[in-house]
Amino acid sequence: MALQPYRDEELNFFKFSSIVLNEFPKALRQIFKTMWDNNIGHRPGFQLWDDSPVVRNLFVSTEGGITKVPTHKSYNEWDCTALFQATIYSRTFALPGSSGRLKTLSDTFVKPRGVLHGSFHTSVMSPGGNNAETFALAIDQL
């Protein structure tokens, strides 16, 4: 039985899968590192993200001691799901809501926009120039 050549649609699927599996996590890691370095790394007792066990444990501590993110592994091994959890669903980057209670970036910026499942944001840039909002919308867009 001879092997059949791949159809164009199948080749496009493999290309797309490669982007999702390889390029999306790279972009999400860069965003996570930028968010950490700009918002957390300069605080007393913290350090810039260097992916060491020490800094990964600092991340766990900012999450309240538990997290769904596999911090026992290098962040280079975190998949998209872990990177979403580490950014827009994270307590580390949560902001105070109107009640003063901390809300994740997803709760603060994504849910209020009411974007229907399967649709896209009209823009991933914060209208007010808020970097946290821009990051949350860009990550949600991915």
What is the band of 1 on the pLDDT scale with cuts at 50, 70, 90? low
- Compute the C-alpha angle 114/106/21, nearest 5°: 105
| Domain that includes residue 48, residue range | 22-141
- What is the chain's mean pLDDT, rounded? 90
Residue 130 lies in a domain: yes
Q: Quick check: 125 pLDDT over 70?
A: yes
Residue 2 lies in a domain: no
For residue 117, what pLDDT is reported? 67
Mean pLDDT of 48-75: 97
For residue 113, what pLDDT is reported? 73
Residue 55 lies in a domain: yes
Residue 79 lies in a domain: yes
Mean pLDDT of 63-78: 96
Q: What burial class does residue 9 get, using C-beta atoms within 10 Å of its C-beta: 0-12 exposed, 13-18 middle, 19+ buried?
A: exposed
Q: What percent of the chain has pLDDT over 70?
A: 93
Residue 91 lies in a domain: yes
Residue 16 lies in a domain: no
Residue 3 lies in a domain: no
β-pairing, 102-103 vs 95-96, is antiparallel
For residue 116, what pLDDT is reported? 65
Read off the pLDDT of residues 90-118 as tens digits, 9 standing for 90 and up.
999 999 988 889 999 999 988 887 766 66
Domain count for the chain, please give it: 1
Q: What burial class does residue 44 get, using C-beta atoms within 10 Å of its C-beta: 0-12 exposed, 13-18 middle, 19+ buried?
A: exposed
Q: Quick check: 140 pLDDT over 80?
A: no
- Compute the C-alpha angle 112/115/116, nearest 5°: 130
Strand partners, 95: 103
For residue 119, what pLDDT is reported? 63
